[in-house]
Structure 1
């Protein structure tokens, strides 16, 4: 009797321990944890609702929560879900002088750059990929907000210029996914100069008769919005993305009025003609494919 009771208790313990296995087969795969423990980041909290979401399910949903909130994603993930079959050629970003101003801060600027590179795996806040979107060869730039707030500095500016040059050399459209808090203060005026340089680079793409399409993601603000983010032939945006030059609180304090709840959100801007369409993350590759095919059609006729 005692042995039977012991066996029953042990069986119940195993069943309790294996509830995640029943919920999702394979969840207890080897994650480098001792004793087969589940990783600490297996569940992700939705920033909008506070709901805890099973990470593999969130990844399968392209990091869009059940409530429809589009979480921020890095450059590698963005490039992978944008190009056909997740296949693309990574184009290296140019190397620039680090900390050209010797900027004094609570933490040395070079240390901030090193930490951002370790966290994101990218050289700077922009990354370039070349591949096909719905069969159309395209150069894509992705801005990563996780890299110092996606800030625009010399490294990002040089990357943008190189992407534009690649688009012209390959006779391919240029697409950018923006996500930025604006210019990088640690580079002062040198960062502001990138607004003008990126604008000239866009002009070179357009002078070559190639499309330049912008996809605005959360958030796109400051000097980035005041330059290349608003120079596209077509402007798309992800749902509920914050898009604006100055912050909401700054504007309210300046005009001494309370702004609408949806102010500076992508849906608000579509209604007022600032952007062309809001598209979900899952829709964007197909929408881009249709746009690029249409815009490149005239070029094909001219070439013929």
Structure 2
């Protein structure tokens, strides 16, 4: 379902319709007729941070995608690790990265989509480990939490990178407008499906 408004309005409407309140949701279905397993971070819940529960949800989604031989797509908008969970949160970096590596080894495609804002441990562990990495136009990426930059604790100009900079330095493969995202991902899934049926999908 496509929503025409801002992310804030879209999310409020989606929450009203579904009742979902989690920081990371996982689901299976189709996009333009192509089967897919999808994850989506909700930045409004603790900054969409990667805590123990979110890490486990992602790992289970990856295992399900592997079992069903279906591409995994993750929409990332996160402030990084949930620091109040300490070591338990940091362990999610290894868990999510290992889940993606297993997909690579088995030739199951993983598409990563960066939405605004992505930072820290999530950037390192799952946001740019895709077979194809897509940045939404207007996305901002940093190694530090956005809140620290907004408070003036860090130099935002030195920390932030936009979609075009990521593309020019090879950190992402495509920059796509949000309104075109469904069509672009659907086409990629179709190509992956064609390659899989002809035996052309390889490791990594």
Partner residue in 1 for 2:30 = 132
Return closer, same or farther for 1:225/1:75 CA change in 2, 3 Å cut-off.
farther
Return closer, same or farther for 1:126/1:234 CA change in 2, 3 Å cut-off.
same
Gaps of 5+ in 1: 1-58, 65-69, 81-89, 91-119
Partner residue in 1 for 2:173 = 276
Partner residue in 1 for 2:101 = 203
1:185-217 Cα offsets, whole Å, 9 max, x none, are: 121010000000001111122222111000100
Return closer, same or farther for 1:73/1:219 CA change in 2, 3 Å cut-off.
farther
Q: Verify: 1:168 aligned to 2:39, yes or no.
A: no
Partner residue in 2 for 1:294 = 191
1:4-19 equivalent positions in 2, closer than 5 A: none
Task: Give 3-state SS (helix, strand or coil) of 1:128's partner.
Answer: strand
Is the 8 Å Cα contact of residues 212 and 232 (structure 1) preserved in structure 2?
Answer: yes
Structure with bigger RCO (C-alpha 8 Å, 6+ apart): 2
Separation in 2 of the partners of 1:198 and 1:301?
Answer: 29
Aligned alpha-carbon RMSD (Å): 2.8
Partner residue in 2 for 1:145 = 43
Q: 2:133 aligns with which of 235, 242, 246?
A: 235
Is the 8 Å Cα contact of residues 211 and 296 (structure 1) preserved in structure 2?
Answer: no
**Deviation (angstroms), 1:294:** 1.5
Partner residue in 2 for 1:121 = 20
Return closer, same or farther for 1:259/1:222 CA change in 2, 3 Å cut-off.
closer
Q: Which is greater in Rg?
A: 1
**Deviation (angstroms), 1:183:** 0.4
Moved over 3 A (4+): 70-78, 247-253
Return closer, same or farther for 1:185/1:259 CA change in 2, 3 Å cut-off.
closer
The answer to which structure has the higher strand fraction is 2
Return closer, same or farther for 1:164/1:294 CA change in 2, 3 Å cut-off.
same
Return closer, same or farther for 1:158/1:60 CA change in 2, 3 Å cut-off.
closer
Partner residue in 1 for 2:161 = 264
Return closer, same or farther for 1:240/1:287 CA change in 2, 3 Å cut-off.
same
Separation in 2 of the partners of 1:142 and 1:220?
Answer: 12
Separation in 1 of the partners of 2:8 and 2:135?
Answer: 14
**Deviation (angstroms), 1:169:** 1.5
User: Normalised by the size of structure 2, how large is the TM-score?
Assistant: 0.84
Q: 2:56 aligns with which of 145, 158, 165?
A: 158
Separation in 2 of the partners of 1:74 and 1:290?
Answer: 25
Gaps of 5+ in 2: none
Task: Give 3-state SS (helix, strand or coil) of 1:282's partner.
Answer: helix
Separation in 2 of the partners of 1:223 and 1:60?
Answer: 29
Partner residue in 2 for 1:193 = 91
